[in-house]
Each structure stands twice: as structure tokens, then as C-alpha cells.
Structure 1
Amino acid sequence: MSENWDVIIIGAGPSGTTCAKKLVENGFSVKIYDRRQEIGSPKRCGEGLSESIQNLIGKIPDRCIAQKIKGARVYAPNGKYLEAVLERGGFILERKVFDKWLAERAVKAGVEIQSNSFISSLIKHDGYFAGVKGEFLGEEFEEKAKMIVCATGAESPLRKQALGIFSKLDLIDSCLQYEMSGIDIDPDFIHIYVGNEIAPRGYIWVFPKGINRANIGVGIIPGEKTPKFYLEKFVNSQLEIKKGSIIEVNAGCVPVGGMEKDMVTNGLLACGEAAHHVNPIHGGGIKEAVISGKLAADVISESLKKGDVSKKALSKFNKLWWEKRGNRLEKVEKLREVLEKLSDKDLNDLADALKAQDIIEFTRGSKLSILAKVLMKKPKLIGLAKYLL
């Protein structure tokens, strides 16, 4: 069977383009197909990132950054907040510009990208995935490759076709975000609001993109009331936000748990959100996508050089991912499960007992014993405390 490419990647998000760039630099031919008319659009996140991401991808151009931030304020249900300052700071992206920058870097390295291309099915040959079938501007096409990478995000049915991966409803956050202008907020911090009345089993975020502009959104487990109900309720309760105008609306789903143990099969590997590589506590996926894309490229490069893209050879990716990120993120998933069971009073008490910097460490899967000790002081929460340890 003659191949057109060494690797075909489905999806031009951060995981797909990072993987592609590294593969080309390692000497392989790569083509990316993306279903969107415009790479980076529509945006599906609050666009916040820590400065440390640049350790993974290099210096991000100023045009990709809307606002630099000092840290985060996390608001308890009673309005009290903890203010955590990031050692190196962070920034709010212009996600559409950022994703295009990643794609442009990949193209300059030698990757070929084709947007507006819907991949309808995968080709199999002798028990190995070996190509794709799709449609571009009304015309059907077929391309073959030695290896397929599924970097489609969490909503594509191709994951299920290839690996049996599907997203459980209780591990999917339903999200709605307004980009608003004409508001007044402190632009030096991101603002996170938690509480069962504010956003049950989730949170509301305000990510500044300047003095008078911000992404304001909500992510919750689907329930009786919609994300729109909670977001509108919040916006209308904040005088400095209520007076603003909505200049963009984005909605979507984000996996917040259920990371896959097995992400490979003969001739195919899934990475990024397609494999649920997302931080379960805040739903951020860019950093995890970049890390998984790089790890995927390393394993695929080694497999192609040996001429072996079997499930056994590619399984090294499972091992590397879980060693590098998965085990830590699994702790974060436990943290989320515990927080979802707390009452508003419990959350208020935590705000009184914890230090701001503890919050940052918790989201990294670190120092959870500190939280467990606080929970141990309440008899009814001892079981949850032990679950964290």
C-alpha cells in the first residue's frame, strides 16, 4: 500500500501543530487536516496561560497576548477572595492569533495544513489505520499515511471509531462565554468565582483582556439549569460588568476527567483533548495539549524509524504521558471530585483556612495533604479528606 505521507494529523489545535512541527523537524512528511474554516476560530477557552508555557514552545509573540496578569483571585461564595501571585506571571491570549501562530510555525518547518476539511472516516489496511477519507469544498478525497494522529478535540466521533474513546456526560463541562467590552475590572488578575449558587460543580471566570474588556464565562456539569442561566445571573449581579456589551459569544464542551489509559492502536495515536488531556480542576488544556503533542512526536518518530507502528510499539506513549502528566492530573481529578461535594459553607470555611498560594499548588496536584488536614477538622468531611491522601 503506497503512502502519501509519513503522518496525517487530524486537528490543527495546539496538540496537532506541536506534534507536526516536531515530526517534520525529525525528518518526516506531515499533513494536517482541520475541519474549521479558520484555524483558532471559534475559540473555546478563557485564553489564560501561565508564563511557564514559553518553556515548552518558546517566546510567544506580543500580537498573541491581549493582557499580562500578575496572578489570580479566587472568590468564595460569601465574596471573600484569596489573591495568589504567580512567580513569573501569566497572560490572557488572543487565542485565534495564538493558534494561527502555532500553525504558521509548523508550516514554516515544512508541515502542510489544509483547513475546512471534514474527515469522515479512517482507512484501515491489514489491521492498521493507514489513511483518511474526507471532503474539501464539496469534493471527496482520500489520503494514505504510515501513521494517523487523532488531535481532533473532545467532540469528534473519530476517537470512538478508532479507539472506543467517548466522553462520559458526568465528566464533561458545558461552557458558555461572553467576551464583553465597556466594563470595569482589575486587569492585573484573573477572577474565579465558586459556589453552588454561582456555578454548581464548576466555576465562573473573568479573564481580563485590557482595562475595559474581558472573557466572562461559566463551566458546569450539565444539569437542570443551563450555563446561560448562571452566566446571566452573574453578569447582572456585577454592576461593573452589567453595564458592558457582549461583543462575542462562544459555547462548547470541555472534558474535565476520565483521562484515557490507552491512547494508541495499530497505526494510530490520540493526543490533546481527544485523549482528555485537560486539567480537571479548571479545564485548561493548552499546556497539556502541547506536552502530549511533543511526547506523541517523540514516540511516533522512534516507531517510524524502526518501521514499527504497532500498538505495542506506540504504547510507549501511554507510559510516558502517565509518568509525565497523567499521574499528577489524576490527583487533580480527585481534588475536583472532593470540591464538588462541598457546601457553600464548607467553601467559605476553606477560604478562611487556606493560604492563597495553596490554591495554585492544588491545581497542580501538589500539597493536597494541606487541604486534607483542613477537611479532617469536620467529622462529616473526613471521608473526603482520606480520599485525597
Structure 2
Amino acid sequence: MQLKKNYDVIIVGAGPGGAMAARKCAQGGLDTLLLEKRQEIGAPKRCGEGISIPILLELGFKGNENFVMRKINGSIIIPPNKKEVLIDYSALGFNGAIVERKLFDKALCYKAADAGAKIIAKATVVNVLKKNEKIIGISVSIDGKIHNLYSKIVIAADGVESKIARMAGINTTNIAYNMDSGYQYEMAGIKIKDPNKIYLYFGNNIAPRGYIWIFPKGKTVANVGIGIAGHHDKTAKEYLDEWIETQPNIKKGSIIEVNAGGIPVGGFLKNMVLDNFMVVGDAAHQVNPAHGGGIGEAARAGTLAAKIAIKAIRSKNISKKFLEEYNQVWWAKYGNNLENIEKYRLLFEKLSDEDMNLITASINGNDILDISKGNGKTLIDTLIKHPKLFKLSRHIF
């Protein structure tokens, strides 16, 4: 393995955010190094693996790659009273997909490598290198040997447990309230009513401040998981196991894989840059607070960070002041909307089961999708119909 001492940009973390940043930096002519601490990119996975086809197209895929396990044409929302609400994707002009992250993340990295980025797995960054309080590179352990590598810009894309940003001087610590606990089984031999749809179950007894999901990967295979707030008497696993036991079509299935981890659902960073340094993806809490999904958010942030990095290096100005364009554009394009969605999440977390039933009886699937995308008018129009809920919302907005 050949390593150079100096690069234009070093990116830490080969998830969607890091891989897209590496690909775009390399395409822009930057000498790019992408490091991943795990020995296999894409593993272990920590999400339900759902993504929209438009996002796949945005990332340069066609939507029929080997990592696409199942095309999805809708969602079924199941409130506590079990009166289902359908979100029909095809009627809205798009479809979704369930991917295999082990293949998907690698596919993103293949594109980055083809663009010219150097990628190394099982490379653990142990520290950042500084000179005059500015980041000038990283110290990385590869095969038990420490290498000091230097770059004009370092991009931290090392996930929800990000240490690199904190080492650099950006406090990425999230408050406990903005972190959910996720637990998921990949199950086989189960019966799914419609394997072309995902199922989302809500209720304070089964998934307090969260939901249970079934994301089909085949006719009899699905990710069955839960995401809840971390402060309850029972763990996420215990809630999920108890719910599965109530589901005749699922409880007899086989567990093929187990995944668990923290999910940021808010607490966006106002500042994501320092001199010579940027943060993207879960490391910067860039997720959709409505459902905790972060693939698209991370990839878009990585793309934006790369664009600013290319511009900075070409301008020979890698100062914090110059890189702050990343903060400004991200907040204008994505952050303000995500912050609104976070407010909606805070409202929904205060709902009783009766309130949830009331809301789902008052709206259709399109309304739910609008709200999850940050459409405040749809939410307000719904709340106005119910004085109790509207009064509750005044404490949030």
C-alpha cells in the first residue's frame, strides 16, 4: 500500500457523506485520501436502509443496481388504533428503495475510487495534527503503524460517534434528548402483507417517542427495527422484542442479522468549519428529525463540502472565514428546513395515543409526507381543526 505524506484533502469516514465528498473532490482535481476505521466499508449498518429513488439518481445511480434489494411504492402508517394511512409514492411521482448498505456504501466508494480518490479501510485516525492552532493533517494507525499525513483541508465524516471534530475543536456532543436508540433485526421467513410497501407503527406503549418499522428487502425478508428515545425503563431491544411477539406473521421468522446504535434526531451544528477543517453527515447531526434518515442528508452535505473545498484550495484560501460558505449554504438550502422539522418532531413527541389517532384520522398520506419534508402549512391546517392540539403546538413554535 502506497501512502504519500501530503494530500489536498483528507476525509475521515467512508459512509455516504465521506464517499461523496471524496468523489466530488477527486472529480474536481484534488489529491484526495479517504480513510475508514472499519475493516469493511458499509458494515455494520445502523439504519433501516431506506432511500428514495430520486436520491439514488442524484448520487449518480440508475436505481437498478445490485444493492437495490426492493423497490418500494408506498408507506403504511399504523397509529395506535391500527386504522392505517397510506402514503402512495407512485401517485406523488416517485418511488423508494430498500438497499443493502454493505453494497451501497461500497458502490459509492467505487465511484470515488474511479474518480481518483485513494481509499483505505481499517485505518483509524488517532489524532489531528495542528500547527499554530490550525489543522494541518491527521495521525492514523494502519496495520499497527502510525502515519502522520498532511493536507490542506480535513473533512470529518466519521459518523454519530465522531471524535475527529472534537479533536479539531468543534463540539459535536449532542444532548441526550436529541439522540434516539435504534435496534434492528434483518429477518427472514416472515409474512409481509405487501412487500412493496414499508410499514411504520406508532404508539407510546410500543415505541415511545419513536416508531417501529418493517422495511421489506424481499417477499419474506425485511429489516424489522425500532427507534426510540433513550430514557425509558426498557431498552429499544426489549420494546422491539415485545412487539414482535404480538405479530403472528413475524414472530416465527429467523433473525439473520442484528444491528444497534445511536441515531441523532436534532441538535444541528450552527458552525461546522474551522481553519482547514469541515464536518459532514451524522458527525454534524445532519439527519431528518422526522424519521432519523441520514443517507441523503449526508451525501448532499458531502457534495456541498467538496464544492467549497475545491473552491477554497483553488483560491488558496482555506481559512475558517472562507469555508464558512459551507455553513451558510447548508443552512440556507437544508438546515432551516430540517430545523423546522425538528420543531414538528417535538410536537409529535408530546402526543398521547388518542392525539395520534385524532391526527391520522384528519390527514391523508400526502399530508404526512408534506409534514415530514417540513411543510408547516400542512401541519398548521391540521392542528387548527383540533383546538387541544393547536394549543399544544403554541409551546413548540
TM-score by length of 1: 0.97
Amino acid at match of 1:341: K
The residue aligned with 1:104 is 110
The equivalent residue for 2:34 is: 32
**One-letter amino acid matched to 1:342:** L
Q: Gapped runs of 5+ residues in structure 2?
A: none
The answer on whether the counterparts of 2:155 and 2:278 sit within 8 Å (CA) in structure 1 is yes
For these two proteins, the number of residue pairs brought into alignment is 387
Q: CA deviation at 1:100?
A: 0.3
Comparing 3-12 with 59-68, which one deviates more in the overlay?
A: 59-68
Q: Which residue of 2 aligns with 1:80?
A: 83
Report how far residue 370 of structure 1 moved: 2.8
In structure 1, what residue type is equivalent to 2:373? R
> Would you say the 8 A contact 1:257–1:333 is kept in 2?
yes
- Tell me what 2:53 maps to: 51
- Quick one: which amino acid aligns to residue 82 of structure 1? V
What is the SS of the residue equivalent to 2:331? helix
- Show the counterpart of 2:314: 305
2 CA distance for matches of 1:325 and 1:375? 25
Distance in 2 between residues matched to 1:305 and 1:99, nearest whole Å = 29
Partner deviation per Cα, 1:242-270 (whole Å, 9 max, x = no partner): 11010100001110000111000011000
Task: Kindly provide the CA deviation profile for residues 157-188 of structure 1, in whole angstroms up to 9, marking residues without a partner as x.
Answer: 22222212212111011100000000000211
Report if aligned partners of 1:375, 1:384 keep a CA contact under 8 Å in 2. no
Structure-2 change in CA distance of 1:359 and 1:313 (3 Å) = same
SS at match of 2:10: strand
Shift of 1:369: 2.6
C-alpha distance in 1 between matches for 2:98 and 2:396: 31
Query: Aligned-residue CA RMSD in angstroms?
Result: 1.4
Deviation at 1:376, TM superposition (A): 3.4
Deviation at 1:3, TM superposition (A): 6.0
Contact 1:331 1:388 in 2 (8 A): no
* Partner of residue 267, structure 1: 276
- CA deviations over 1:209-231 (Å, ceiling 9, x no partner): 01100000000111221001110
Give the superposition deviation at 1:388: 6.4
1:284-315 deviations in Å (ceiling 9; x for gaps): 00110111011101111111011111110000
Tell me if 1:177 matches 2:184.
yes
SS in 2 for 1:63: coil
Report the counterpart of residue 367 of structure 2 in structure 1.
Answer: 358
Q: What one-letter code is carried by the residue in structure 1 that aligns with 2:302?
A: G
Letter in 2 for 1:106: A
Deviation at 1:110, TM superposition (A): 0.6
Partner SS, residue 315 of structure 1:
helix
**Paired AA for residue 194 in structure 1:** F
Deviation at 1:206, TM superposition (A): 0.3
CA contact (8 A) 2:53 2:63 kept: no
Choose the corresponding residue for 1:375, options 375, 383, 386.
383
Determine what percentage of the aligned residue pairs are the same residue.
Answer: 42
What SS does structure 1 have at the residue aligned with 2:34? strand
Q: What does residue 8 of structure 2 align with?
A: 6
Cα separation, 1, equivalents of 2:257 and 2:185: 6
Match of 1:141 in 2: 147
4+ aligned runs moved over 4 Å, structure 1: none
What is the alpha-carbon distance in structure 1 between the residues aligned to residue 27 and residue 384 of structure 2? Answer: 52
**Do the aligned residues in 1 keep the contact of 2:128 with 2:135 (CA within 8 Å)?**
yes
Check the 8 A contact 1:9/1:32 in 2, yes or no.
yes
Please give the alpha-carbon distance, in whole angstroms, between the structure 2 residues aligned to 1:52 and 1:283: 18
Aligned residue for 1:213?
221
Structure 2 length normalisation: TM-score? 0.95
Verify: 1:248 aligned to 2:251, yes or no.
no
SS in 1 for 2:250: helix
Rounded Cα–Cα distance in structure 2 between residues aligned with 1:113 and 1:214: 31
Amino acid of the structure 1 residue aligned with 2:51: L
Cα displacement string for residues 98-141 of structure 1 (whole angstroms, at most 9, x for unaligned residues): 00000011111110011111111100112310111121121111
- In 1, distance between residues paired with 2:217 and 2:266? 28
